[in-house]
Amino acid sequence: MRRIPARAGAAPSHVISDANFLAASGGSAAKAMRRSVLILGTDHRYQRRDPLLSESQHEEFASFLTRLARRHGVRLLAEEYSAQALAEQGISETTVERLAKGLGIAHCYCDLDRQTRFNLRIFQEGHIRTEALRKDWTEREIVERVAQSHRARERFWLERLLEAQLWPVLFVCGADHARRFASLLRAKRLDVSVIEEHWRAS
């Protein structure tokens, strides 16, 4: 059995059996060792099973992720989410975590908690735009500060994946991160496929 170590800004993950993965992937050790990441950009409402979306939309999301995980022999389901966000939203787990449990594979919340973000001076776009009103920043300055914040968070996600060392990974994130996160991973010589930049239920 293998456990991803917990780290500040992320929740403990589930345990995965390497034997289970090899059986599911046809026993291919080479496939297990490839540092490959599948990226699915989407709306966070699918992750948290938001009641504003219909049951059929949520089921379509879950079915799509399940098919991807099985088709590619995924060993780790990771996502842009944090344990703190779960607690603040009053939910016990995301759809992604629930599916990982059902599939018997590892799961990892990769995003930073609020205090860690503050310590690292990483801010959400809303906070940056509020500051911009006080400090009279131009739109260009705002866009660059938002981009800097996104890049810092994405580097943290990458660190989590590298720590886990469970490949292939299926990573679910907000649509605005998909292309840029893929570029970061490729720069680190990971094999990356963007499944969809902005997946939506039909």
Q: What is the mean pLDDT of residues 30-43?
A: 83
Among 17-26, 33-42, 70-79, 125-134, the range with the most confident prediction by mean pLDDT is: 70-79
pLDDT given for residue 33 in this prediction:
61
**CA within 13 Å, CB half, 31:** 14
Q: How confident is the model at residue 19 (pLDDT cuts 50, 70, 90)?
A: very low
Q: What is the pLDDT of residues 113-126, one digit of tens each?
A: 888 888 878 777 77
CA 173 to CA 41: how far, in whole Å?
5
Phi-psi region of 93 (alpha: psi -120 to 50; beta: other; left: phi over 0): beta
pLDDT given for residue 5 in this prediction:
45
pTM of the model: 0.80
The string over 56-87, giving b where at least 16 C-beta atoms fall within 10 Å of a residue's C-beta and e elsewhere, is ebbebbbebbeebbeebbbbbbbbbbbbbbbe
Per-domain residue ranges for the chain?
A: 14-199
Q: Which of 17-26, 30-39, 49-58, 103-112 has the lowest mean pLDDT?
A: 17-26
Average pLDDT, the chain: 85
Residue 200 to residues 47, 59, 65, 163: CA-CA distances in angstroms? 12, 12, 12, 30
Q: How confident is the model at residue 7 (pLDDT cuts 50, 70, 90)?
A: low
Task: State percent of the chain over pLDDT 90.
Answer: 64
pLDDT at 173 over 60: yes
Residue 153 to residues 46, 148, 177, 180: CA-CA distances in angstroms? 21, 9, 10, 11
Q: What is the pLDDT of residues 158-171, one digit of tens each?
A: 999 999 999 999 99
The letter for the amino acid at 54 is S
Beta strands in 53-145 (DSSP E): 76-79, 106-109
pLDDT given for residue 44 in this prediction:
97
137 near 131, Cβ under 8 Å?
yes
Cα 63 to the chain's mean position, in Å? Answer: 17
pLDDT given for residue 78 in this prediction:
98
Nearest to 75 by CA among 38, 43, 112: 38
CA 199 to CA 107: how far, in whole Å?
20
pLDDT at 96 over 50: yes
Residues 6+ apart with CB under 8 A from 52: 45
170 near 40, Cβ under 8 Å?
yes
